[in-house]
Amino acid sequence: LYLKDEIAFMNKSYLVNQNQSRSDFYDYINESYNYRIFEFDGNECGVEFLEYYNSEGIILERIHYTYNSENCSYEATFEYSDFSNGHRIYDDKNGHDASTVSEIIRRGEHHNTIENRLWSTNNDVSPNYSYNSVYEYNEEDYPVMETRTYLNESVFVYTYEYY
């Protein structure tokens, strides 16, 4: 990531073994500040567990994903977090990032998020992280515009171009 022509952070990702991958994050002076461990169980949708650690190896957050549709929509359960659970619902169209292939995340089909919800540990929906998206698609079912409306009433419009 670059910020005003300077590096803000760097990321190094690699396979640990056939069931695990890792992403290390470094600040602008190349010092490690956290890392993520991705664990897989062979499902078609991707990661089963995602763990966040600080640079000393202390766990900051653990997320367990349970996939519940052919589109890889999921329920998520959080530990060591400000959130307790969440879900994400995908459409059945081509995702704007469908050409992105990553052995690190091992996500199967790429679709577009139409609903994202996160609940706090006291079971209140988090309006700053929960949203609904509406898409306009091209003739090949790829999104060209996304209108994302957060439950806090913030609205963001994204446009996608393909080359």
pLDDT digit string (tens) for 109-138?
A: 679 999 999 999 999 999 999 999 999 999
Tell me how far apart the alpha carbons of residues 85 and 63 are, in angstroms, rounded to a whole number: 9
The more confident residue out of 149 and 98 is 149
Residue 136: both structure tokens together: 């306009």
The C-alpha atoms of residue 67 and residue 74 are separated, in whole angstroms, by 4
Q: From the centroid of its chain, how far is CA 151?
A: 19
- 8-state DSSP, 99: T
Residue-level pLDDT at 147: 98
The pTM of the full predicted model, rounded to 2 decimals, is 0.83
User: For position 108, what pLDDT does the model report?
Assistant: 61
Q: Return the domain boundaries, the chain.
A: 2-132
Cα-only R_g, the chain: 17
- Is the dihedral angle over the CA atoms 12, 36, 148, 76 positive or is it negative? positive
Say what the pLDDT of residue 106 is: 65
With a cut of 60, say whether residue 3 has pLDDT above it. Answer: no
Query: What is the spatial distance between Cα 54 and Cα 71, in angstroms, rounded to a whole number?
Result: 32
Q: Mean pLDDT throughout 27-48?
A: 89
Q: Which CATH number fits domain 2-132: 1.10.1740, 1.10.3470, 2.40.128, 2.30.29?
A: 2.40.128
Kindly report the number of other CB atoms within 10 A of residue 135's CB atom: 20
pLDDT band at 97 (very low <50, low <70, confident <90, very high): confident
> Would the CA dihedral through 76, 49, 147, 120 be positive or negative?
positive
pLDDT of residue 29: 85
Give the model's pLDDT for residue 7. Answer: 66
Contact call for residues 125 and 87 (beta carbons, < 8 A) = no
**60 Cα distance to chain centroid:** 17
pLDDT digit string, tens, across residues 40-94: 987 788 889 999 999 999 999 999 999 999 889 999 999 999 999 999 999 999 9
**Is a pLDDT exceeding 60 seen at residue 95?**
yes
